[in-house]
Amino acid sequence: MSASADWTDDGTTMKAIDADGFEALFSRSIDPWNYRTSRFEAHKRGVLLKACGLGPYGRGLELACAIGTTTQALSPLCRRLLAVDASPTAIEEARAGRYAKPVTFRTARLPEDAPRGPFDLIVVSEIAYYLKPRALDALTDRLLAALAPGGRIVVLHHVTPFADAAILPARAQAQMTARLARRLAPVLSRRLGRFKVAAFERRRR
């Protein structure tokens, strides 16, 4: 991720990577962000897991699962887990992994291919800033519709700018969490260095 970009007045950029760009990245290098070896990525996964709570959850959904490193950490929390990514190459690699509970992998472009649910746990990590504002709102609304009563959504993203994002990362996290907060009960919101994490629950009636 590069630190510079030509940002417009509305906080967007024309240099954003798209689904085809992600496929090209994973085709060149199966672990382009060093998910398996980076201490920072391991720390971030730990923060994400804590935000998910103890579980167990019935059905879980992970967006932008990449090669399945976070999926492996999430699978013990869910009786069934659906993990999606836009890159067929990443999905193929993820399917080869070992998981504590049953995991289904599927290619999906967001927001149009967002699964319908219902899901008891939804994890949205390092994906929101790759969507333009309207697409991000559309994705958020689809996830709200897919969340089961008593379910939890966890949102974690970098908040420092980099070149291939479609929207300023801090704005993406703020936009998504603000929209979720209108319909769900906040559980936590924290900034830890370069990233923020937030969690919301749909209260049972």
Domains of the chain, by residue range, sit at 19-201
pTM for this prediction: 0.92
Q: Does domain 19-201 have CATH number 3.40.50.150?
A: yes
Q: What confidence tens digit (pLDDT) does each residue in 80-104 have?
A: 999 999 999 999 999 999 999 999 9
Residues 6+ apart with CB under 8 A from 168: 7, 11, 12, 129, 161
Please report which helix (H) or strand (E) contains residue 41, including its range: helix 39-52
Q: What confidence tens digit (pLDDT) does each residue in 128-152 have?
A: 999 999 999 999 999 999 999 999 9
